Amino acid sequence: MSILVIAEHDNASIVGATLHTVTAAQQMGGDIDLLIAGNGCSVAAQAAAQISGVNRVLLADDISLEGLLAENVANLVVSLAGNYSHVLTAATTFGKNFMPRAAALLDVSQISEISEVISADTFVRPVYAGNAMAKVQSSDSIKLITVRITKFDAVAETGGSATIEAVDAVADSGLSRFVGVSSSESERVELTSAAIVISGGRGMQNGENFHMLESVADKLGAAVGASRAAVDAGFVPNDYQVGQTGKVIAPELYIAVGISGAIQHLAGMKDSKTIVAINKDSEAPIFQVADYGLVADLFVAVPELDKAL
Amino acid sequence: MKVLVGVKRVLDPQVKARVKADKSGIDLTNAKMTMNPFCENAVEEAIRLREAGTVEEVVALSIGAAKSEETLRNALALGADRAILVLTDDVLEPLAIAKIIKAMVEKENPDLVLVGKQAIDDECNQTGQMVSALLGWPQATFASKLEIVDGTAQVTREVDSGLETINVNMPAVISADLRLNEPRYASLPNVMKAKRKPLEKIDISDLGLDTANRMTTLEVMEPPARASGVMVENVAELVEKLRNEAKVI
């Protein structure tokens, strides 16, 4: 058995999601190779070679991989997949984009967002917004899998000594072109990697009031998130969104402020280690998953919390 | 231009899924079913393209049991011109669904296939990508903005780091994210009109495709329950508990 993990990187370093994916690969057993695909990504390959538990780093560095268009990444993965029993990537928007395409080209099913490894062919994955867990067994000869990273610990970023081998990229498909990416600017820690997250919901009333949460976040070294209701109301940009349709996170501490706790929001945060809910409605469903609930007006409680820290 | 838009019938997102006692799946007996929310965005976008004059015809496609006709009638009430229902009682994996959609694309020759980015029941997020792979077409997933310019599609995509823009050749497959648009509601006169719009039924066995599932569901379980929490009286008590009990700050 041998496993190929498609790494996510920014050309200079490896995105944390990849470290969690390597842990899932280790639980399946077998040698683990890491693919670094991109344009100008050799520094990232050197970082990848340090990751604990990695056997080889395959480096595909080519102009055709600029912007990591799904067509070109999928063709590259297909060209390598024959050597492996399993191909894994994190269930991020990067992984979710190319992996099903590669699966269809290989005529195999993709096993989406596994949360647990039972054996080399049997996995658990959440369905219905995490309200049920399906245990599935795959009969495909090559298993293409995306990994829900919050369910697996990260391996160490250092301590490994993998060899780096160049592999050929595939020709540009010519089907699509990368135009650009715009990120919302934030000096705060990234939502998916933060140990503490404080999120606001519709109860925040407007975007201006999110400054109250930002002030608390700065004291705690936390990231700021939001419910879909707050995003839909235009209070904050979409990349703040925690939930079934946004980001799925599991920080050490999650503080939900003015969030009622719709099923789709709970799906994005209920694996957090400690959950705090502050809401003036004592009947709000968020209290059912909270370790600590405070029934209070958030416009009183949040400034108090800020002062107490 | 012609658009083929895929729609899936799913458990209403406001309803909590209940695991069957024998762990064989989710109990959908008498459950409220609806169009998958992301499919609503796909249908809305197709209709807006027609209203803007970019598209002449919108064909809605669903694959599933006979009751999926309700979901297609809903799409017709929203504005689709006609519908196709591929009938099967099996719960198919996205790979099989993609093969069926490919067969329907070859029959209908659309310039664009629009689907929702994922279904809220099996949460696979695969079908659009797989259809484009099988057709050899470009894909634009998780779309929050679509503009058709000079025979190409300029698509803004919702990615973890923000918004990405790509430009894809046509024909293409585009999967809709929630912010692509705000779906309309069907008016009563349109619901009545939809009953008379053409709806073609095709039995899956007539397509001659290999749609066998590659995965076996061994069991479906309740998620692990969280231990019940405590209510605190005030902010001071909350901070004390977080510091000394949970030790997270």
Q: What is the mean pLDDT of residues A23-48?
A: 97
Task: Find, in chain B, the residue whose alpha carbon is nearest to that of A306.
Answer: B235
CB-based burial label for A130 (10 Å; 0-12, 13-18, 19+): buried
> How far is Cα of residue A58 from the mean position of the Cα atoms in its chain?
22
Work out the pLDDT band at A185, boundaries 50, 70, 90. Answer: low
> How far is Cα of residue B162 from the mean position of the Cα atoms in its chain?
22
Distance (Å, whole) CA B163 – CA A180 = 8
Touching check for B26 and chain A: CB below 8 Å? yes
Work out the pLDDT band at A203, boundaries 50, 70, 90. Answer: very high
Which pLDDT tens digit goes with each residue over B184-201? 999 999 999 999 999 999
Token pair for A151? 């369910």
Distance (Å, whole) CA A240 – CA A227 = 8
Spell out the residues 6+ positions from residue B107 whose beta carbon is closer than 8 angstroms to its own.
none
Cβ contact, residue pair A113, B134, below 8 Å:
no
Look at residue B23 and tell me whether its pLDDT is greater than 80.
Answer: yes
Neighboring chain B residues of A67 at a CB cutoff of 8 Å: 166
Cβ–Cβ under 8 Å, residues A27 and A155: no
pLDDT at A184 (0 to 100): 67
Which residues between 137 and 156 in chain A have a beta carbon less than 8 angstroms from any beta carbon of chain B?
137-140
Distance (Å, whole) CA A12 – CA A38 = 11
Cβ contact, residue pair A176, B169, below 8 Å:
yes
Token pair for A258? 């003015």
pLDDT at A186 (0 to 100): 67
Cβ contact, residue pair B95, A183, below 8 Å:
no
Cβ–Cβ under 8 Å, residues B177 and B143: yes
The dihedral formed by the CA atoms of B169, B173, B177 and B182, expressed in degrees to the nearest 10? 90
pLDDT at B229 (0 to 100): 93
Which pLDDT tens digit goes with each residue over A131-182? 999 999 999 999 999 999 989 999 999 999 999 999 999 999 999 999 999 8
Q: Are strands A31-38 and A2-6 parallel, antiparallel or unpaired?
A: parallel
ipTM rounded to 2 decimals: 0.95
Query: Crossing angle of helices B127-135/B94-108, nearest 10°?
Result: 50
Which residues between 121 and 140 in chain B have a beta carbon less than 8 angstroms from any beta carbon of chain A?
121-127, 129-134, 137-140
Which pLDDT tens digit goes with each residue over B86-114? 999 999 999 999 999 999 999 999 999 99
Cβ–Cβ under 8 Å, residues B35 and B69: no
Residue listed under structure tokens 């009031």? A209
Cβ contact, residue pair A93, B120, below 8 Å:
no
pLDDT at A193 (0 to 100): 82
Cβ contact, residue pair B218, A136, below 8 Å:
yes
Question: In which element (H, E) is residue B64 found?
Answer: strand B57-64
Cβ contact, residue pair B141, A97, below 8 Å:
yes
The dihedral formed by the CA atoms of A112, A62, B170 and B141, expressed in degrees to the nearest 10? 30
Cβ contact, residue pair A132, B241, below 8 Å:
no
Average pLDDT, chain B: 96
Of B13 and A296, which is predicted with more confidence? A296
Q: How many CB atoms lie within 10 A of CB A6?
A: 26
Work out the pLDDT band at B34, boundaries 50, 70, 90. Answer: very high
Cβ contact, residue pair A104, B98, below 8 Å:
yes
Q: How many CB pairs under 8 A join A and B?
A: 243
Task: Find, in chain A, the residue whose alpha carbon is nearest to that of B226.
Answer: A289
Touching check for A82 and chain B: CB below 8 Å? no
Neighboring chain B residues of A238 at a CB cutoff of 8 Å: 144, 158, 179
* Residues composing chain B: 249
Of residues B214, B227, B232, nearest to A293 (C-beta) = B232
The dihedral formed by the CA atoms of B25, B27, B32 and B38, expressed in degrees to the nearest 10? -10
Touching check for B187 and chain A: CB below 8 Å? no
From B9, B3, B65, B79, select the one nearest B37 (Cα to Cα).
Answer: B9
Of residues B120, B133, B246, nearest to A105 (C-beta) = B133
Q: What is the DSSP letter of A59?
A: E
Residue listed under structure tokens 């999650």? A254
Residue listed under structure tokens 């599932």? B213
Helices (DSSP H) in B57-126: which residue ranges?
Answer: 68-78, 94-108
pLDDT at B219 (0 to 100): 97
pLDDT at A123 (0 to 100): 98
Look at residue A3 and tell me whether its pLDDT is greater than 80.
Answer: yes
Touching check for A188 and chain B: CB below 8 Å? no
Q: Is the dihedral of CA A243, A244, A248, A254 positive or negative?
A: positive
Report chain B's C-alpha Rg in angstroms.
21
Task: Find, in chain B, the residue whose alpha carbon is nearest to that of A92.
Answer: B160
Distance (Å, whole) CA A241 – CA A247 = 6
